[in-house]
């Protein structure tokens, strides 16, 4: 952090008859490093990148990212790309889905699989598992190898005035690993 200037805060008086020079239009500079927020994680997924926050102190990879490390609880982090390969740790084929998934076309006739995934880098996340037989859950094996797959789609965005707009969105999903 920059040290505080010892100067008084009051502005120098403007000489009479001279207007202050117009300031350049203020535009906040994009931060060199994206903040380690939920939004940044989602933004990276829209770029088809699985990004975590690696702790510079203890080495823990936090995926999804966090502002405070989940292992040593310090705030000294850097972005790392995480390889999206791992194993299926638990799953369910969901027949009565959330309205969010129903809107994507899933139903009791076409269930979807939601599972938890242990990635090879030692972190775990939840995911929508595709490319498996949802109607025959016995065919889905815990421990099976899976990998990240990015699905192009859209989402409805409602602005503060209530106007709905559709905008592109990339969904993070998993599929069985290619041999």
Partner 1 sequence: MGKLAREVAVVAVGMCKFGNYSKYGPPEQIKTSRDLWMEAYLDLVQHMEKSDVNIQEEAEALFLGNFSSDLFETQGHLAPLMAEVIGLNPKPAMRLEDACVSGGVAFRTAVISVASGMYDTVIAGGVEKMTDLTTAGVTDTLAAAADAAYEFPYGATFPGLYANIATAHMAKFGTTLRQLRLVGIKNHNNGKLNPRAQMQMTMEDMMNKNIQKGVGNWNDIWEYLDDDKVNPWVAYPLRLNDCSLVTDGAAMAIVTTRENAAKYTDTPIWIIGTGQGSDTLALHDRPDRTHLRAAQEASRQAFQMAGLEPKDIQVAEVHDCFTIAEIVAMEDVGFFAPGEGAKAVEEGLTELNSQIPINTSGGLKSKGHPIGASGIGQIVEVFKQMRGEAEGQRQLKNIPEIGLTHNVGGSGGSCTIHIFKR
Question: Contacting partner 1 (CB under 8 A), which of 40, 46, 68, 95?
Answer: 95
Tokens read off for 31: 């931060």
**Residue among 46, 116, 121, 147 that touches partner 1 (CB under 8 A):** 116
Q: Where are the alpha helices (DSSP H) in 64-172?
A: 99-102
Looking at residue 138, the DSSP 8-state letter turns out to be G
Does 127 help bind partner 1 (rule: CB under 8 A)?
yes
Region 32-51 residues binding partner 1, contact defined as CB under 8 A? 38
The Cα 94–Cα 101 span in angstroms is 10
Token readout for 107 is 């139903």
In the set 91, 132, 146, 170, which binds partner 1 (CB under 8 A)? 91
How near is the Cβ of 21 to partner 1 at its closest, in Å? 45
What burial class does residue 88 get, using C-beta atoms within 10 Å of its C-beta: 0-12 exposed, 13-18 middle, 19+ buried? buried
Please give the Cα distance from 91 to 74 (Å, whole number): 33
Exactly one of 50, 55, 82, 125 binds partner 1 (CB under 8 A); that residue is: 125
Smallest distance from the beta carbon of 101 to partner 1, in angstroms?
5
Interacting residue ranges for partner 1, rule: CB under 8 A: 38, 64, 89-102, 106, 108, 111-112, 114-117, 124-128, 137, 142-143, 172
């Amino acid at each position: 952090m920059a040290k505080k200037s010892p100067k008084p805060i009051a502005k120098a008086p403007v000489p009479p008859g001279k207007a202050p020079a117009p300031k350049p239009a203020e535009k906040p500079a994009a931060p060199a490093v994206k903040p380690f927020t939920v939004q940044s994680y989602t933004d990276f997924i829209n770029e088809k990148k699985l990004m975590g926050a690696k702790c510079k102190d203890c080495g823990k990879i936090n995926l999804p990212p966090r502002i405070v490390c989940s292992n040593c609880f310090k705030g000294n982090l850097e972005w790392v790309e995480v390889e999206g390969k791992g194993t299926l740790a638990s799953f369910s084929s969901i027949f009565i889905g959330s309205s969010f998934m129903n809107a994507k076309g899933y139903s009791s006739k076409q269930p979807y699989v939601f599972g938890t995934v242990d990635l090879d880098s030692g972190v775990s996340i939840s995911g929508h598992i595709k490319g498996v037989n949802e109607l025959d859950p016995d065919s889905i094996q815990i421990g099976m190898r899976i990998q990240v797959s990015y699905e192009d789609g859209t989402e409805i965005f409602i602005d503060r005035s209530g106007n709905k707009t559709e905008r592109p969105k990339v969904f993070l999903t998993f599929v069985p690993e290619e041999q």
